[in-house]
Structure formats: structure tokens, C-alpha cells
Structure 1
Amino acid sequence: MATKRISDEPAFILHQYDWSESSLILETFTRHYGRVALVAKGAKKPTSNFRPVLLPLQPLRVSYGIAGEGHGDIHALKSAEWVGGHIMPSGDALLSGLYLNELLMRLLAREDTHAPLFDIYAGVVRVLASEHGDALEPVLRSFELVLLREIGLLPDLHVETATLAPLEPDARYALVAEGGLRRAASGERFALSGAHWCALHDALADNTTSFTTTLRVMIGTGLAGELKSQLRALLQYHCGSQLLRTRQLMMDLQSL
């Protein structure tokens, strides 16, 4: 059976798990082919060239083989090379990166191409490797918005979802999982003004610089904290009822 070879494909490892005593299954995010599952045969052996390379949040170039029709969803990794450029994130930045990886694992379909999202993810990982503390919040919120928009799960942010009525600049609106964007109830804590939602809508509408523009709006208006609860609830809704493991880990650490 003829085998097609994909060579020098930009990729990140999202997750890995044991396949046998000596091999691993890798869930990867590739630029041109989306989320791809690869088997790294012998990767657990002490002498394997894969061992120092197959790490999360590190830019790689991978080559793998795809068999003909009926080949299945898991392909054979042939080579993996570290591209370099930044160190491994640590501390809160590492947990944030693993959180983003879990979102991609839960929300992206296998082999569904998202090249612009890949480029944004690569940029976010570079930020995580160099920035900590207060810088993380607007970066994470901006990525969550762009991810939701990219996979078609973010409602228009310049109109009320149920009525399609334009947002009033001074009124407050909340983003909810089942109802989209709606006018906030009196005293509702997590909500943004119509003007702020429209600013985010305009930023996301610029497909060439959506992440950078959205991040600039986040920083300039201080919206990241207000958006956190709303976006987390929306993401959890689409990920399913099971709590994200990285979020549970963060909560457990905070309770220590």
C-alpha cells in the first residue's frame, strides 16, 4: 500500500499518552493539517532520539507517513526536530499553556485545518515563555476569543443574540453559554458595556491582526478580568460537562 509522507510540518505537541511499553501516541497541532494523532515508536526507550524533543509548548517540525485509504486516524511519526526560539514556560505560564492545549484537544476536530489559529497559538506560546504575572490574563482572554471565533462558537458581539438588536453603548450585556449575548440583569456582576463588546467585535473582525488588535483592546480597557468568568463558562459549555483538568489543577493549587 502506498504511503504518503508529510515532511517538515510545523507542529506543537498538545498531549501524549502510552501506546505500548516503548511507544507513545502524540496529539499534535500542525499548521497545515490541524490536530493530528501520531505514534512515536520506541520514543520511551532511553536511546530514542525522540525523548529530548517531544515536549509540549515547544515548536517542532515533524515528518510522518500516511497510508492509503482506510489508514485510520493515527499516523506514524518518522522524525521530529526542535525548531528552537524560546525556553519552556514555567510556573503559572506553564499551567496556562497546558490549559490552552487542553482547549485545543477538546474543541478542535481531527485533521481540520486552522492555519491562522496555529500562528496565533505559536505567538501566544512565545509570550508565555517570556512573560508572567499580570501579562498572562489579557493574552489568555484574547486567545479564548479568537479560538471561539475560529471554530464558529462565538456569537456576534455587536448585537443581542436573541433579537439581533444593536447594542446600546452605555447598557451592560452578558455573554452566556446557551443564550449568547444578552442584556445584563440588574446587579449582574459579570457584564460589559455595549461599547466594549463592539470594540472587541471590531478587533476580531480584522482577520489579519485579530489577536494583536484584540489584545490591544484588552490591555487598553482592562476587560480581561471581566471577561474571564464569561468566557470560561462558555468554553466549559462547549467542552462538555467534565471540568477541564488544567482548571481543576489550578483550583487545587490555589487552595493549598
Structure 2
Amino acid sequence: MAAKRVGEEPSFILHRYNWSESSLILEVFTRHRGRVALVAKGAKKHTSNFRPVLLALQPLNVTYTLSGDGNADIHVLKGAEWAGGHIMPMGNNLLTGMYLNELLMRLLARDDPYTYLFDVYGAVVKLLATQQGEVIEPVLRAFELILLRELGLLPSLHEETLTLQPLQPDASYVLVPEMGLRPALEVDRAALTGLQWTQLMHALDQSDGAYPAAVRACAAVASALKPQLRHLLQYHCGSPLLRTRQLMMDLQTL
């Protein structure tokens, strides 16, 4: 029986590692099939057509055959073409892109599709290739919120998690692992008002444009939101510390 073939699947490579002297294993985020593992046979050879194409943070269309009955852990890459659109992010934006890839590697189960998350990821990667500076911060916070929301890891942002009491618009609240949203204490340096959390929740609930709405909502609160989301994401990623986060912190101390 002929192997089932998946053709021209929109994809991004999240990670790659050696499989043999000439081949690679690719962790790929696909639009319709989620995160999949593919073996690229002969990809390390100088004559391979795969060599210049199999790059992270680049939109690709991949074709592969499903191993066994389709439930195998690793499938066989048959073709890959650059889908065009933008160049490779550089500098700090390249590190940021690697951070996004590590998040997806740590949090996404294989063969679990997230079509909307894929589209948002593609939009963020394109922005990383074309923009610099402060415009990136609200975009990253919006992506982190959408990632947590899509995975079912984000608590409701319009009520206290433990008491289920509605947020008071002028009161301050913080988002913490295990406890969700709780009233801010004097020691909490990063907090948002109940109104700001509610606005973020409303943005995420926009069925026809959650990503742009979330970016707009994050613009005014990105700095206070950053440490809270990072702690929550690290909690769900588990130990050890995200390698890209450690690298960024090390670079800041140079």
C-alpha cells in the first residue's frame, strides 16, 4: 500500500538536529497538522536541494509521506520550497524569533493543529524581519497571550481566579502561576488595573481579529505585562529555564 502523502503544507521549522552523518531531524510547525517531526534524508550533503531551504523563521511549503499508518513519531520529508515574503530576522529580533520557537517546542504537543496560532506566528515572524524597536514589544505580549489562550493555559482575565469575583476597574491585579489573577500586593512591582485586564480579555474574545486587537490592547501595558507572562510561560514550560531567555539575560550583563 502506498504511503499517504501530505503535499504543499505551509510550515515553519522550529528546530533541527543531526540524525546521521548526512541527514537531519526537523521539528516543524505546520498549519493544518500542528507540530510534526520530519527526517530530511541527505540534507547535510553539499549537493542536497534541501540545504539552502531548511532554515528557521522562514515560511516554507513542505511535502512529506506519513510513516507506517500515519501514527509514527517521525515522517519522511520529500520536498520543501521557500514560500517567500521576507528575509531572515537579524540581531535581537533573531533571538526573539528563537525564543518563540523554543516556546512552541516546549508547549505544543505533536500532531495537534492550531491553525489560528500558526497564522499569528507567521505574522509575528514577518514583523520581526521588517521592524525594530518598541513596536515589537506589544506584538510579543499579544503572541504570548494568544499562545496561552489557544493552549487553554490562560485564566479568565475579567475575574479573580480563586474567588470568581469580578475585577474592580480601578483596583490592581497580578497574574501569577497556580493562582491566576489576584489582587496586587505592595511587593508586586508589575500590575495592571481591572479595567486593563478586562480590555485584554475583550481583545482576545474578538473572533474576527483577536491578534490585532490584542496588539492594540497590549501597547499601553506591555512593560507591566512582560514579567507576568514570562513567569507564567516558564511555569508551564517547566524546568530548566528557557535557553533563549538565559542567553538574553547573559547578553544584557556583558
TM-score, structure 2 as length reference: 0.98
236, 239, 242: which one aligns with 2:240: 242
CA RMSD in angstroms, aligned pairs only: 1.0
Please state if 1:177 is matched with 2:169.
no
The residue aligned with 2:108 is: 108
The residue aligned with 1:208 is: 208
1:1-256 to 2 correspondences below 5 Å: 1-69=1-69, 72-219=72-219, 222-256=220-254
Shift of 1:161: 0.3
- Distance (whole Å) between structure 2 residues aligned to residue 200 and residue 208 of structure 1: 15
In the alignment, is the contact (CA less than 8 A) between 2:25 and 2:38 conserved in 1?
A: yes
In the alignment, is the contact (CA less than 8 A) between 2:157 and 2:200 conserved in 1?
A: yes
Q: Match for 1:135: what amino acid?
A: V
Output one character per residue of 1:164-213: Cα deviation in whole Å (capped at 9) or x when no partner: 10000000000001100001113421110000000000000113211100
- Distance (whole Å) between structure 2 residues aligned to residue 62 and residue 187 of structure 1: 50
Structure 2 residue matching 1:181: 3-state secondary structure: strand
Q: How many residues align?
A: 254
Q: Show structure 1 runs of 4+ deviating over 2 A.
A: 67-71
In the alignment, is the contact (CA less than 8 A) between 1:106 and 1:239 conserved in 2?
A: yes
- Distance (whole Å) between structure 1 residues aligned to residue 51 and residue 93 of structure 2: 23
Output one character per residue of 1:227-251: Cα deviation in whole Å (capped at 9) or x when no partner: 1100000000000021001001111
Q: Match for 2:190: what amino acid?
A: F
Structure 2 residue matching 1:161: 3-state secondary structure: coil
- Distance (whole Å) between structure 2 residues aligned to residue 247 and residue 203 of structure 1: 27
Q: Match for 1:13: what amino acid?
A: I
Structure 2 residue matching 1:77: 3-state secondary structure: strand
In the alignment, is the contact (CA less than 8 A) between 2:67 and 2:74 conserved in 1?
A: no
Structure 2 residue matching 1:243: 3-state secondary structure: coil
Q: Match for 1:117: what amino acid?
A: L
TM-score, structure 1 as length reference: 0.97
Shift of 1:70: 7.0
- Distance (whole Å) between structure 2 residues aligned to residue 80 and residue 7 of structure 1: 10
Q: Structure 1 vs Structure 2: percent identity of aligned residues? A: 65
Q: Match for 2:45: what amino acid?
A: K
Structure 2 residue matching 1:206: 3-state secondary structure: coil
Structure 1 residue matching 2:241: 3-state secondary structure: coil
Shift of 1:123: 0.4
- Distance (whole Å) between structure 2 residues aligned to residue 14 and residue 197 of structure 1: 31
Which consecutive unaligned segments of at least 5 residues does structure 2 have?
none
Which consecutive unaligned segments of at least 5 residues does structure 1 have?
none
